């Protein structure tokens, strides 16, 4: 693959820079569920960009809304000034959030949403005289973005190692259990007992020292790890018992990925805060948000005399008008096309059946799925020179499909507009690639 692009200056994120620049994969154009390379090859986007382009690419409704907003009000400070579209977007968003989470704090990314949620948790406890509650509990293999709070509660070693000292945190065990749950369709049966580790950590640290637990209801970047049946409800019970806030990081699971607007709704467990980003604007303009329970907001805001700033936190681009315009147009599409629940219908069933047909592909040790997200895990022994990830990704790309890989795990999260024939193509390419490589 040749290109004339000078690649020296751009230090690419989370990328094997030297490998990429010696063998670049340049995307030029996107439409629907397809990318097109600079060499004219069509690539099926089986990852919705980075788990974010839920309504598919090239949505003219969003482009028009963004263009119009840029002409009308391109930017205004959100500190002590407002603009109508920010309030309008917040009001529209909370139509989809679980009951009671009716306050929206805007950020620009998932990472910033996470930092904001952690700070809200600290401020909440402080404002009610419980300033000793300063620790956070995260979980092994979790991804909560790349800022210092996020990597502290996150559980992916390469993202944490070398960046300390970090915040005072401890970690729950992850729930991936291939020995007992391999080839589960939907939520795995075994593993509710892993929730009991929360109570043990609380006893160890003392409930009076813990502000919040943050988990992804389904771990995405850690390898598509589903919550065992009953696990999330048990987490909720334990948090209630010990006066600890429960934060769901729904940056990936939000906006229809699992068949409901949020995993909280899909699994019928209401957290105290939800972090969101990615699909909130169909991934096309950066925007993050924290959805906060009314009581938490009221506690913080009403604790300060009128005229005083209640929460010393915010971003230059919080509720950026152009991002809000993109978000409103995205919500219109989600609502009009029924995308937030599409994954729970026939297309989700087809995805599940097709993915599980890979059970007998070479070296496959697990297939797992829920809604329109899934993963295939390969036997670690296939890797002569380390994890198979990058080579497998290249093998699929060569055959016209973009997948995401983490070590020996290959993950899929196509746009929610995906059709059965695209899923069939994905599965054929996965099998061919596995047969070629192993
Ligand atoms: N939280 C979760 C669960 C994520 O999956 C991600 C990104 O993949 C983030 C936070 C960070 O989001 P961003 O890359 O927008 O900062």
Instruction: Dump pLDDT digits (tens) for 93-119.
Output: 999 999 999 999 999 999 999 999 999
Query: Domain 17-58+341-437 - what CATH class?
Result: alpha beta
pLDDT category at 2 given cuts 50, 70, 90 is: low
What is the reported pLDDT for 196? 98
Nearest to 438, CA basis, from 366, 356, 382:
382
Measured CA to CA, the distance from residue 280 to residue 61 in angstroms comes to: 15
Coil vs helix vs strand at 178: helix
pLDDT category at 382 given cuts 50, 70, 90 is: confident
| Ligand 1 geometric centre to CA of 438 (Å) | 32
Phi, psi values for residue 260, rounded to 5°: -135, 170
For residue 111, the ligand 1 atom closest to its alpha carbon is 16
Longest CA–CA span in the chain (Å) reads 67
Measured CA to CA, the distance from residue 278 to residue 173 in angstroms comes to: 26
| Ligand 1 geometric centre to CA of 115 (Å) | 11
Domain boundaries of the chain, sorted by first residue: 17-58+341-437, 63-337
Q: 111 vs 388, which has greater pLDDT?
A: 111
Question: Per-residue pLDDT averaged across 396-413, rounded?
Answer: 96
Atom 1 of ligand 1: nearest residue by CA position: 144
Atom 12 of ligand 1: nearest residue by CA position: 110
Instruction: Dump pLDDT digits (tens) for 415-431.
Output: 999 999 999 999 999 99
Cβ–ligand 1 distance for 114 under 6 Å, the answer yes
Phi, psi values for residue 13, rounded to 5°: -80, 145
Instruction: Dump pLDDT digits (tens) for 145-160.
Output: 999 999 999 999 999 9
What is the reported pLDDT for 129? 98
Task: Inform me whether the pLDDT recorded for 190 exceeds 90.
Answer: yes
Instruction: Dump pLDDT digits (tens) for 252-292.
Output: 999 999 999 999 999 999 999 999 999 999 999 999 999 99
Nearest to 422, CA basis, from 143, 45, 116, 137:
45
If one looks up domain 63-337 in CATH, what number appears?
3.40.640.10
Instruction: Dump pLDDT digits (tens) for 295-338.
Output: 999 999 999 999 999 999 999 999 999 999 999 999 999 999 99
pLDDT category at 360 given cuts 50, 70, 90 is: very high
Looking at beta carbons, which pairs linking 35-43 to residues 24 or more positions away fall under 8 Å?
35/402, 37/1, 38/3, 39/1, 41/400, 42/400, 43/397, 43/400, 43/401, 43/402
H-type helices in 178-280, by residue range?
Answer: 178-181, 196-205, 231-241, 263-266
Cβ–ligand 1 distance for 109 under 6 Å, the answer yes
Relative orientation angle of helices 389-398 and 420-437, to the nearest 10 degrees: 120
List C-alpha distances in Å: 246 to 193, 225, 235, 301, 326.
18, 19, 8, 20, 29
Task: Inform me whether the pLDDT recorded for 388 exceeds 80.
Answer: no
Dihedral (CA of 175, 176, 181, 187) sign: positive
Task: Inform me whether the pLDDT recorded for 386 exceeds 90.
Answer: no
pLDDT category at 3 given cuts 50, 70, 90 is: confident
Task: Inform me whether the pLDDT recorded for 208 exceeds 60.
Answer: yes
Instruction: Dump pLDDT digits (tens) for 362-380.
Output: 999 999 999 999 999 999 8
- With contact defined as beta carbons under 8 Å apart, do 322 and 69 qualify? yes
Nearest to 287, CA basis, from 245, 337, 247, 330:
330
Q: Which helix (H) or strand (E) holds 428?
A: helix 420-437
Instruction: Dump pLDDT digits (tens) for 37-75.
Output: 999 999 999 999 999 999 999 999 999 999 999 999 999
Supply the ipTM of this predicted assembly: 0.99
């Amino acid at each position: 693959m040749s290109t004339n692009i000078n690649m020296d200056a751009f230090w690419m994120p989370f990328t094997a820079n030297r490998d990429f620049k010696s063998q670049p994969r340049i995307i030029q154009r996107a439409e629907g569920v397809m990318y097109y390379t600079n060499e004219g090859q069509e690539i099926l986007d089986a990852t919705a960009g980075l788990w974010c382009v839920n309504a598919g690419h090239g949505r003219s409704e969003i482009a028009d809304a963004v263009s119009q907003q840029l002409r009308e009000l391109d930017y205004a400070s959100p500190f002590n000034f407002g603009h109508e579209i920010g309030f309008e977007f917040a009001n529209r968003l909370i139509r989809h959030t679980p009951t009671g989470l009716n306050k929206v704090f805007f950020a620009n990314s998932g990472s910033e949403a996470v930092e904001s949620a952690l700070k809200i948790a600290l401020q909440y406890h402080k404002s009610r005289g419980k300033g000793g509650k300063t620790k956070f509990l995260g979980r092994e293999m979790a991804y909560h973005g790349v800022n210092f709070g996020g990597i502290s509660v996150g559980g992916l070693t390469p993202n944490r190692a070398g960046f300390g000292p970090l915040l005072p945190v401890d970690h729950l065990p992850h729930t991936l259990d291939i020995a007992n749950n391999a080839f589960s369709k939907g939520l795995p049966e075994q593993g509710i007992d892993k929730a009991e580790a929360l109570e043990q950590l609380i006893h160890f640290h003392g409930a009076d020292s813990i502000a919040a637990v943050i988990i992804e209801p389904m771990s995405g970047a850690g390898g598509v790890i589903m919550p065992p049946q009953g696990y999330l409800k048990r987490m909720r019970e334990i948090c209630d018992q010990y006066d600890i806030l429960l934060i769901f990081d729904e940056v990936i699971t939000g906006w229809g990925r699992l068949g409901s607007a949020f995993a909280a709704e899909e699994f019928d467990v209401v957290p105290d805060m939800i972090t969101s980003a990615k699909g909130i604007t169909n991934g096309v303009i950066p925007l993050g948000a924290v959805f906060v329970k009314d009581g938490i907001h009221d506690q913080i805001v009403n604790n300060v005399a009128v005229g005083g700033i209640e929460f010393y936190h915010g971003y230059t681009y919080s509720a950026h008008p152009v991002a809000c315009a993109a978000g409103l147009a995205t919500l219109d599409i989600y609502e009009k096309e029924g995308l937030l629940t599409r994954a729970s219908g026939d297309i989700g069933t087809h995805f599940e059946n097709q993915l599980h047909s890979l059970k007998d592909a070479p070296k496959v040790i697990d297939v797992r799925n829920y809604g329109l997200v899934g993963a295939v895990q390969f036997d670690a022994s296939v890797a002569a020179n380390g994890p198979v990830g990058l080579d497998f990704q290249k093998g699929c790309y060569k055959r016209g499909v973009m997948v995401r890989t983490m070590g020996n795990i290959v993950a899929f999260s196509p746009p929610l507009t995906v059709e059965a024939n695209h899923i069939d193509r994905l599965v054929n390419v996965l099998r061919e690639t596995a047969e070629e490589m192993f």
